[in-house]
Structure 1
Amino acid sequence: MSRLPLGSYRGVMINAERTGFWGRHYVLTREGGAVVTTWDIGKWASGGGFALDGREYKVRPNAWGTRYTMLDDGGAVVAEAERAGRKQWTVRAGGREYAFRRASLLSLDQQLVDGERVIGSVKRTSAWTGALAADLPGLPTAVQVFVIGIVITQWNAAAAASA
């Protein structure tokens, strides 16, 4: 697998906001408000799906919620995440591997890293609404949505477990 190229490139931030307090959908928008897609939470709050550029994607977790697979509308694997929910986890897509880690022991925020260098992040912007902002430079848009969906799923699971 090739690694994320180094550089000072910063991607366009994607914001995600739940459509209602009890909503099962998150609207993902770029800075400026342009809608990217809607993340639909799965029936049992694990996995989900979205449509992007005329294609449908489904995200399926394993039974423990530590491995996620993104399938396109033809059933082909587009991306896979390993060890999601752990301190360090990875996503493989398009022949590349992207490394993530939890920002701190007490935080659920995630960092996109290259070695020890932080190059991107997914951060909660509102604990009350569950809104988040993702800056994931170098990742294709569908893979960014995949990562955002996994983080939303993990955060919702953590909130349910603490309730």
Structure 2
Amino acid sequence: MLIAKRTSVWRTRYQVSQDGHLVAAWDGSLWRSGGDLNVAGQGFQVRGNAWGSRFSMLDKAGGVVAAADRVGRKRWTVAAGGVTYHFQRASIWSQAQELYADGRKVGSVRKTSVWGSDIAVDLPGVPLPVQVFVLGVLVTMWQAQASAAGAAG
């Protein structure tokens, strides 16, 4: 399981650890949907469309490593390395997302508490860079939802 801890009050920066060891970092963009991630010293860019419903993880050469589609919907997917991962919102009242395989829940991404900003990523069988990509996509989505709710209120 990965634990992502927010490291900045002003920006969406997270340090991601596994078994107490730092393995990745996420730095959300201030001006566009997405951000930058670093996994074991390898850098990637995450870019989203204007609506925040599609994201791509790009390597340094600009090649697509992973792609998320229908983000923000009840059901959405991530494709990477020839595998499609199926996610679903846990409930209408929760921000938690669950990973499904063969019709059963096999993993999840959720905030560790209602008031905190730390996130638990439990996606067994998913490669580490793809897990961190999913984390970045969800952090971006949750931030956009919070901004929209603040603007509406």
TM over 0.5: yes
Whether 1:105 and 2:92 are equivalent positions in the alignment is: yes
Q: 1:122 aligns with which of 109, 112, 117?
A: 109
Q: Which amino acid aligns with 1:142?
A: P
Which runs of 5 or more residues in structure 2 are unaligned? none
Q: Which amino acid aligns with 2:44?
A: Y
Pairwise CA distance, 1:46:
2.0
Q: For residues 158 and 67 of structure 1, what CA distance do their matches in structure 2 show?
A: 15
Cα deviation for residue 142 of structure 1 reads 0.3
Root mean square deviation, CA, Å:
1.3
Q: 1:87 aligns with which of 67, 74, 92?
A: 74
Q: Deviations over 1:28-50 (max 9, x none)?
A: 1113x100111000122620111
**Aligned-partner Cα distance in 2 for 1:55–1:123:** 25
- Report the counterpart of residue 121 of structure 2 in structure 1: 134
| Number of residue pairs the alignment of both structures matches | 150
Q: Structure 1 length as normaliser, TM-score?
A: 0.87
- Preserved contact between residue 123 and residue 133 of structure 1 (Cα < 8 Å): yes
Which residue of structure 2 lines up, in the alignment, with residue 74 of structure 1?
61
Compare relative contact order (CA 8 Å, sep 6+) and give the higher one, 1 or 2: 1
Q: Distance in 1 between matches of 2:135 and 2:32?
A: 14
Deviation at 1:22, TM superposition (A): 2.6
Q: Are 2:149 and 1:162 aligned?
A: yes
Quote the Cα distance in structure 2 between the aligned partners of 1:95 and 1:75.
Answer: 18
Structure 2 residue 8 is the aligned partner of structure 1 residue 20: yes
Report sequence identity in percent: 48
Residue ranges of structure 1 left out of the alignment (5+ in a row): 1-12
